[in-house]
């Protein structure tokens, strides 16, 4: 299943980062510290938009294929990763929170997949296969 850029995810990331920046701005921290934290929030927004929403980063996931509890992930830089889908993966009709354990790694990796990142049939198929995996 080929993953496409997701405008919904881009808007959600923008909204969340704007709220975080506004909360930092509203605090009583010294101006230089506030500016530094807001800059870090902006850098986080740029990173996540490039990697997850617009799929421009070399480590962006471009294609996934599910086989029982294992998933093969094609990354933009041309490499392929094998991972195990964990039981903490959340599937709903609005989005999928895909949590996987990469082969040879201890920590989990999470990605959010919105319906606009796949065709309607592929999103439905992925939901069903993840629920029964």
Q: Is there a contact between 8 and 118 (Cβ–Cβ < 8 Å)? A: no
* CATH 1.20.1070 given to domain 61-131: no
Q: For the chain, which residues make up each domain, given as ranges?
A: 7-53, 61-131
Torsion of CA 105, 116, 62, 50, to 10 degrees: -80
Tell me the per-residue pLDDT of 74-124, one tens digit each, with 9 for 90 and over.
999 999 999 999 999 999 999 999 999 998 899 999 999 999 999 999 999
Q: For residue 49, what are the CA distances in angstroms to 14, 54, 118?
A: 8, 6, 17
Q: What is the pTM of this model?
A: 0.89
């Amino acid at each position: 299943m080929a993953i496409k850029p997701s405008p919904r995810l881009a808007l959600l990331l923008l909204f969340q980062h704007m709220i975080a920046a506004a909360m930092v701005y509203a605090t009583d921290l010294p101006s230089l510290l506030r500016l530094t934290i807001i800059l870090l929030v902006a850098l986080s927004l740029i990173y996540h938009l490039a990697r997850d929403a617009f799929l421009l980063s070399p480590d962006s996931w471009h294609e996934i294929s599910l086989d029982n509890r294992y998933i093969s992930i094609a990354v933009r830089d041309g490499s392929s990763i094998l991972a195990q889908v964990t039981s903490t993966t959340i599937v709903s009709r609005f989005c999928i929170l895909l949590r996987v354990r990469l082969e040879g790694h201890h920590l989990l990796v999470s990605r959010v997949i919105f319906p606009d990142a796949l065709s309607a049939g592929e999103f439905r198929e992925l939901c069903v296969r993840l629920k029964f995996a």
